[in-house]
Amino acid sequence: MKITIFNGSPRAEKGNTHFMVKAFIEGAEKAGAVTNNIFLSKKKINPCMGCFTCWLKTPGICVFKDDMPTLLSEVLTSDIIVFAFPLYVDNVSGQMKIFMDRLMTLADPRITKDENGESRHQKRYDQPSPGVVVISNCGFPEFSHFQVVSLLFKRFARNLHSKVLGEIFRTEGELLCHKRLLLKPVQFKYKKLMNKCGEEIVKNSKLSLKTKEALKKPLVPKDFYIKEANKYIQKRLTQIQSKPKKV
């Protein structure tokens, strides 16, 4: 089984998203998958111009000469694709959105109906579409912040003639790479849970109920998180205010 991860965090290897992805990959590889981890921020991906050339003039081929053809072939040769990103303004990061728009090259513009009678475009290529896994983390402590992206990827997977096999959302994401010694056991436990997610997706193409329940637990209690986050922010702001200003 081949899994390709598209990581849309501009922080790449230094990001909290990568903490999750790295552990997911460990588990997936242990279960026998071959993985390919791609940082979108390191790729040249131009935003779609809406010219429809890839649909109506040169079917399947975009006007831009950038890294997308290689990324498209990664999608087409994968059994599972993972969309991994930090939550930005209740949504995907800009890097991820640009990538998602460009995946529309995979669709044939002719309109067809899905199993519920709702319109969508046909598939351009015959091979089965890869299953979709969503990995995201955010700064706030409530899972409600993922409402938009949860629906977004259900809709997006439908457009790809696929479905979401698993969604892995992490609140309080800023704790994942935090250096505080006190957080090490919390980070270790969460890493193990992400290992399990990778393993289960490879073995069963879904997450078990037990794992889904474990994913819903906070890393630290919500009120403690908010208090500590505000203390940290205040400290940083006080530091810059007390710095002498250059004239």
Where do contacts with ligand FMN occur on this chain (CB under 6 A)? Answer: 9, 11, 15-17, 86-90, 137-140, 145, 173-174
Quick check: 132 and 162 in contact, CB under 8 A?
yes
Output 17 or 211, the one with its CB closest to ligand FMN. 17
Residue reference for tokens 């309080």: 172
Which CB sits closer to ligand FMN, 106 or 215? Answer: 215
Report the residue closest to ligand FMN, judged by CB: 15
DSSP 3-state assignment of 76? Answer: helix
Classify residue 159 as left (phi > 0), alpha (psi -120 to 50) or beta.
alpha
E strand segments, 44-130: 80-86, 107-113, 119-123
Whether residue 132 contacts residue 113, with contact meaning beta carbons closer than 8 Å, is answered with no
- Minimum CB distance to ligand FMN, residue 104 (Å): 24
- Return the number of other C-beta atoms located less than 10 Å from residue 166's C-beta: 23
> Quick check: 71 and 6 in contact, CB under 8 A?
yes
> Closer CB to ligand FMN, residue 52 or residue 224?
224
> Least distance to ligand FMN from the beta carbon of 124, Å?
31
Shorter beta-carbon distance to ligand FMN: residue 140 or 190: 140
**Of 15 and 130, which CB lies nearer to ligand FMN in the complex structure?**
15
Residue 184 Cβ, how far from ligand FMN at the closest point, in Å? Answer: 18
d(CA 62, CA 64): 5
